């Protein structure tokens, strides 16, 4: 080793570069694609909105592929998180903050100032007419970008984890559900003059699906189909959720089906290390997510009470709850903060701290599920990779060091802790062991302020 040229004594010297020249060129093309969109957004006259859209999306998609190829192509399979702690974007540097502000700004325009997006919406006129049979609006633009991000970043994710069957299959699954169930089927239903309906979202995440006014609207306007849709939503909420979670844990939904999870697992992958692992964050998480669940249960109950026994006070209360929930939780928490703050809070901020669906799935997972991460504690070398890359902020290492199975309400079963473990310590299983016994184990796992104390009572 040339000591003068490379004074570091690190075994990994020379350090891998943050980005090579091909990635810089890809990023430049990506920037040009974004600039075209921004130009149209700001009201610039593009020669032909649809052709400009194709050019912009072509540049963005092609450059994303080129970037991933430069990162993973021609190299042996195996997870490479090179420089993730040093890149400005993935480590809360200047680019991370710029990205956070831009994505949050996009959400703010989307929810409250869609008129400012006129030029951008116009670019989507032709695909919207073809897919939905109606004029484009901000939600179609949003759905298109969202789906494209899941597909592009999902392909990049698969390339990165190509040696790991579990990661490949579940990523194909979230890409499939996002494209078909959350984008094409709702669009097709509109094309057929049917209600826009999302089969992969149900109460309480899509809370209005069990609200009395939505049920009356669906069943009265769309009769048989409307009854089926209401029935589907109720079956998924009250039967499929407990049954599937009993067998597979919450991962069947959070890491295989849900659109929020789809974006977090694909576009959010570089930000998974940013999740707060502190005890304080764990406490906030438990209070916050269960408060949101209580909030939506109350809102739903009030809506039903109001529909049975109409009165001025009950009506005002129900409307107030409904509006506050929509504004605070539906828009600000799940949208602006949940996605906009990926580069600041990590990719699962909404899933961890706010999603009421995750709260219900978590309760089932912790107390009535076969799912757990089993630990071969004797092999653990305490490297901490598992905790570092856990997007839900779970200190997996603390469990591994004690040889204790991980049974946590928040675990979404992404399997990354197991994938990054150099010793094969962790294994995701749907065992048939005594569920009650494991629930007792989960309750007995406590970490004190002063460090780790497990099974202390």
- What does the binding site for ligand SF4 look like in residue numbers (CB under 6 A)? 373, 380-386, 390-392, 394, 396-397, 400, 406, 411-417, 421-423, 425-426
Helix (H) or strand (E) holding 454: strand 451-454
Question: Which CB, 120 or 400, lies closer to ligand SF4?
Answer: 400
Cβ-contact 394, 410 below 8 angstroms: yes
Of 132 and 348, CB closest to ligand SF4:
348
Shortest separation between residue 155's beta carbon and ligand SF4, angstroms: 21
Strand-pair category, 426-430 with 451-454: unpaired
CB of 392 to ligand SF4, least distance (A): 4
Rank residues 124 and 371 by Cβ distance to ligand SF4 and give the closer one: 371
Q: How far apart are CA 12 and CA 112, in angstroms?
A: 49
Q: Smallest gap, in angstroms, from Cβ of residue 413 to ligand SF4?
A: 5
**Residue number, 119 or 415, with CB nearest to ligand SF4:** 415
Least distance to ligand SF4, CB of residue 423, Å:
4
CB of 433 to ligand SF4, least distance (A): 18
- Nearer Cβ to ligand SF4 (59/406): 406
Which residues neighbour 109 within 8 Å (Cβ) at sequence distance 6 or greater?
116, 117, 138
Cβ distance to ligand SF4 smaller for residue 210 or 412: 412
Tokens representing 401 are 């060091």
In the chain, what is the straight-line distance between the N-terminal and C-terminal CA atoms, in Å?
A: 54
Minimum CB–partner distance for residue 397 and ligand SF4 (Å): 4
Say how far apart CA 323 and CA 312 lie, in whole Å: 16
236 versus 396: smaller Cβ distance to ligand SF4: 396
- In this structure, what are the phi and psi dihedrals at residue 453, rounded to the nearest 5 degrees? -135, 110
State the minimum distance, in angstroms, from the CB of residue 206 to ligand SF4: 23
In sign, the C-alpha dihedral spanning 104, 110, 114, 116 is positive
Burial of residue 385, with CB atoms counted within 10 A of its CB: 0-12 exposed, 13-18 middle, 19 or more buried:
buried
Shorter beta-carbon distance to ligand SF4: residue 391 or 405: 391
When the beta carbons of 117 and 351 are compared against ligand SF4, the nearer one is: 351
Taking the alpha carbons of 175, 176, 177, 183 in that order, is the dihedral positive or negative?
positive
- As a 3-state breakdown, the chain gives helix, strand, coil percent values, each rounded to 5, of 65, 5, 30
CA 328 to chain centre: 19
Residue 175 corresponds to which tokens in the numbers above? 């890409």
Task: Rank residues 219 and 374 by Cβ distance to ligand SF4 and give the closer one.
Answer: 374
Half-sphere exposure in the Cβ direction for 75 (13 Å, CA): 14
Q: How crowded is residue 185: how many other Cβ atoms within 10 Å of its Cβ? A: 16
Question: How far is 39 from 46, CA to CA, in rounded Å?
Answer: 8
Q: How far is the CB of 325 from ligand SF4 (least distance, A)?
A: 27
CB of 257 to ligand SF4, least distance (A): 16
Contact 179, 169 (CB under 8 A): no
CB of 195 to ligand SF4, least distance (A): 34
Minimum Å gap between C-beta 265 and ligand SF4 is: 10
Which residue number, 79 or 314, has a Cβ lying nearer to ligand SF4? 79
SS (HEC) of 202-270? CCCCCHHHHCHHHHHHHHHHCHHHHHHHHHHHHHHHHHHHHHHHHHHCCHHHHCCCCHHHHHHHHCCHH
């Amino acid at each position: 080793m040339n000591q003068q040229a490379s004074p570091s004594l690190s075994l990994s010297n020379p350090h891998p570069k943050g980005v090579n020249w091909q990635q810089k060129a890809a990023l430049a093309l990506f920037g040009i694609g974004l600039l075209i969109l921004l130009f149209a957004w700001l009201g610039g006259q593009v020669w032909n909105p649809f052709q400009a859209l194709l050019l912009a999306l072509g540049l963005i998609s092609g450059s994303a592929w080129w970037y991933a190829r430069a990162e993973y192509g021609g190299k042996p399979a195996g997870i490479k998180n090179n420089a993730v702690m040093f890149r400005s974007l993935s480590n809360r540097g200047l680019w991370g903050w710029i990205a956070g502000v831009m994505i949050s700004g996009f959400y703010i325009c989307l929810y409250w100032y869609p008129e400012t997006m006129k030029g951008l919406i116009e670019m989507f006129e032709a695909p919207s007419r073809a897919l939905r049979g109606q004029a484009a609006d901000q939600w179609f633009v949003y759905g298109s970008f969202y789906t494209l991000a899941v597909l592009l970043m999902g392909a990049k994710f698969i390339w990165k984890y190509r040696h790991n069957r579990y990661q490949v299959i579940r990523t194909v699954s979230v890409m499939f559900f996002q494209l078909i169930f959350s984008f094409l089927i709702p669009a097709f239903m509109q094309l057929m003059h049917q209600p826009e309906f999302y089969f992969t979202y149900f109460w309480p995440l899509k809370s209005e699906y069990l609200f009395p006014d939505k049920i009356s609207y669906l069943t009265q306007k769309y009769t048989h189909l409307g009854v089926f849709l209401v029935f589907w939503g109720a079956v998924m909420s009250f039967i499929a959720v407990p049954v599937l979670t009993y067998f597979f844990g919450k991962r069947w939904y959070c890491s295989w089906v849900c659109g929020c999870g789809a974006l977090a697992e694909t576009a959010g992958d570089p930000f998974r290390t940013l999740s707060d692992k502190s005890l304080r964050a764990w406490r906030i998480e438990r209070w916050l997510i269960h408060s949101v669940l209580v909030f939506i249960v109350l809102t739903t109950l009030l809506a039903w009470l109001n529909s049975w026994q109409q009165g001025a006070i009950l009506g005002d209360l129900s409307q107030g709850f409904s509006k506050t929930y929509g504004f605070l939780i539906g828009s600000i928490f799940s949208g602006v903060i949940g996605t906009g703050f990926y580069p600041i809070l990590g990719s699962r901020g909404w899933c961890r701290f706010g999603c009421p669906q995750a709260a219900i799935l978590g309760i089932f997972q912790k107390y009535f599920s076969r799912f757990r991460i089993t630990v071969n504690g004797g092999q653990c070398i305490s490297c901490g990779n598992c905790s570092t890359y856990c997007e839900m902020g779970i200190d997996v290492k603390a469990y591994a060091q004690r040889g204790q199975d991980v049974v946590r309400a928040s675990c979404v079963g992404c399997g990354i802790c197991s994938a990054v473990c150099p010793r094969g310590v962790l294994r995701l299983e749907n065992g048939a062991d005594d569920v009650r016994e494991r629930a007792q184990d989960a309750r007995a796992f406590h970490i004190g302020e002063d460090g780790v104390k497990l099974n202390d009572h």
